[in-house]
Amino acid sequence: MGTTATGSRPGADPGLYGPSSVTWQCHGDPMMWIAGLRALYLQALHPRAVRGVMENSDFRRDAWGRLLRTADFVGTLTYGTTEAAERAGLRVRTIHRSLSATDPDTGERFPVDDPELLLWIHCAQIDSFLHVLRRSGVPLTPAQADRYVDENRVNARLVGLDPAGVPADTAGLAAYFDRIRPGLAAGPDALAVDDFLRGPPVPAPFVRGRNLLWPPVAGLAYGSLPGWAHRLYGRPAPAPRSVTRRLRLTGHVLRCIPAGLRWQLPPGHILKAMRRMGPGSRPSPYTLRTSAAILDRPGRA
């Protein structure tokens, strides 16, 4: 089968984003794992959102599984076929629809799929992905950053939100955080997440390796949070310049690992997408530099 001028196979299903999107080019970056940890730290600061997690999952026993399932979900939405992405969204909506939790302050029962909570989880995730990618050296222009936020309203739709009520650019995302910050707090649940992320349980043979390798990773994710989040958690973070230097160094080191090797890790969404779409679909931050005219145009939700 032949390929188009951009290297994609004609007639192949690009999924919900496709190689012309900023999201496709960004989500193959290895710093997404640190961004995911930052998102967990941030999401835990919403008392109802974190209570919903604590009551409906065994977080301490299955935190690794939860993180991997989230990565699988993001990978499916980004690189999977349209059918696979829609199916993943339906599965998440169905699960959330059946769950509820108790407000830690009022004792009121609330549904886990409350749009306010879904919007918080979405915005904390997208803010974390975008923040860590840019701060670690991914060359996004302001227009591309706005497009990234806009593109991911597709993600918001799949978890049950009306895209019209979801921030469509970085200014809207910042305004959302300004609006919601008074209701955020580091209660017992958030502190439990913080404690867990600083020393997650691992099998005995891996404890030494965890003690050596994990603290810098978790510390970098925590350090990349905004200052107001550090103040809520009540523990200091390195100076912002130091965090930025470490993010850039970590990004440089991880990006030196051949992408083909990194992408071999399960579930292999990117390699499957490249086989489906053709060699021109390979995600790369360099594409963001060379295709700015394409990627800077308005996105779609």
pLDDT tens for 18-32 read: 999 999 999 999 999
pLDDT confidence of residue 79: 97
Does residue 289 register a pLDDT over 70? Answer: no
pLDDT bracket for residue 293 (50, 70, 90)? very low
How does residue 214 score in pLDDT terms, banded at 50, 70 and 90? confident
For position 211, what pLDDT does the model report? 80
pLDDT of 248 > 60? The answer is yes
Rounded to whole angstroms, what are the CA distances from 183 to 49, 114, 243? 12, 16, 27
pLDDT at residue 245 is higher than 80:
yes
Q: What is the mean pLDDT of residues 87-110?
A: 96
Where residue 6 falls among pLDDT bands split at 50, 70, 90? very low
Q: Is the pLDDT of residue 244 over 70?
A: yes
- State the pLDDT confidence band at 3, using cuts at 50, 70 and 90: very low
